[in-house]
Structure 1
Amino acid sequence: MRVHICAVGRLRRGPERDIYEDYLTRFDRTGRALALGPAQLIEVEDKKGGGMPAEAELLQKSIPAGALICTMDERGKVMSSPDFAQMLADWRDQGRQDVAFVIGGADGIDPSLRAQADASLSFGKMVWPHMLVRVMLAEQLYRAASILSGGPYHRV
């Protein structure tokens, strides 16, 4: 199952990007044997200043046809890492070819795009910078692959 991280804004060079790339590399390596991945980042930017509706349109265009849509949203479901791993495995086992994790801009995800989502996840009640959500998602993808492979990364 291919993983697409569709996000508003550009992750510039620096420690956040280094950590993000490291975890995605680990996910791709660990997930390959589990039919998870590869993962790719698709970044969009609303250069015309159209706000959330314009960002939603750009995000919608970045989502592969037929992909399961999972928004990363403060109103989403909070779950444990093992539960997240199981959800990924379930999607894969249901024959999903693509999953798109959608990360909005500083103001979040437009309600019209949230309404199209098959699932919505939250990293807790606190609001996180949208650039850090990419890093946290990449880490959780790697952790999920490690859990599913029986690796030692996650201890319960």
Structure 2
Amino acid sequence: MKTGPERALIDDYQTRFDRTGRPLGLGPLQLHEVEDRKGGGMEAEAALLDRSLPKGALCAVLDERGQVMPSPDFADLLARWRDEGRGDVAFVIGGADGLDPALRQRADFSLSFGKMVWPHMLVRVMLAEQLYRAASILAGSPYHRA
């Protein structure tokens, strides 16, 4: 990911999430990128994504067909996964063509930011912000004003 406004936003929300989430047993937030340099399409990208997932991680894909949920429910979901002992949760964002259907089917959870299709760079920012918002909700911070 190149420098620019999206990167600056992600870095800011990542710092906020780590600061707020660590005392709650959440984080640290790490970003892993893959690039299909050979141009193998969704299937090749899915193989790269699969290899980048931490061993034993819960796989949550971002997909317009996924579950739409309000921020407090997302916070509760993260807390439940934490309380169930899920050490790692990997949020997977596909490239321009989306995610390979086989990867979507193997996922433990599918999350949607609505029925619209979003550029993957914006989805990264939105996810980082929602992770920070979830940690803030769990910490009782006034950041989220429902």
Q: Same fold (TM over 0.5)?
A: yes
How many residues of Structure 1 are paired with residues of Structure 2 in the alignment? 146
The code of the aligned residue for 1:50 comes to G
What SS does the corresponding residue of 2:92 show, helix, strand or coil? strand
Aligned to 2:64: 74
Aligned to 2:126: 136
Distance in 2 (CA, whole Å) between partners of 1:118 and 1:76 is: 11
The code of the aligned residue for 1:17 comes to R
Aligned to 2:23: 33
Q: Which has the higher strand share?
A: 1
Q: Where in structure 1 do 4 or more consecutive aligned residues deviate above 6 Å?
A: none
Q: Which has the higher helix share?
A: 2
What SS does the corresponding residue of 2:127 show, helix, strand or coil? helix
Aligned-residue identity in percent:
74
Query: RMSD across aligned C-alpha pairs, in angstroms?
Result: 0.5
Unaligned 5+ residue runs, structure 2? none
Aligned to 1:123: 113
Aligned to 1:59: 49
What SS does the corresponding residue of 1:39 show, helix, strand or coil? coil
Q: Mapping of 1:86-97 within 5 angstroms?
A: 86-97=76-87
Aligned to 2:7: 17
Query: 1:153, CA displacement in angstroms?
Result: 0.2
What SS does the corresponding residue of 2:131 show, helix, strand or coil? helix
The code of the aligned residue for 1:66 comes to G
Q: TM-score, normalised by structure 1?
A: 0.93
Aligned to 2:100: 110
Distance in 2 (CA, whole Å) between partners of 1:28 and 1:125 is: 29
Distance in 2 (CA, whole Å) between partners of 1:95 and 1:19 is: 29
What SS does the corresponding residue of 1:128 show, helix, strand or coil? coil
The code of the aligned residue for 2:22 comes to R
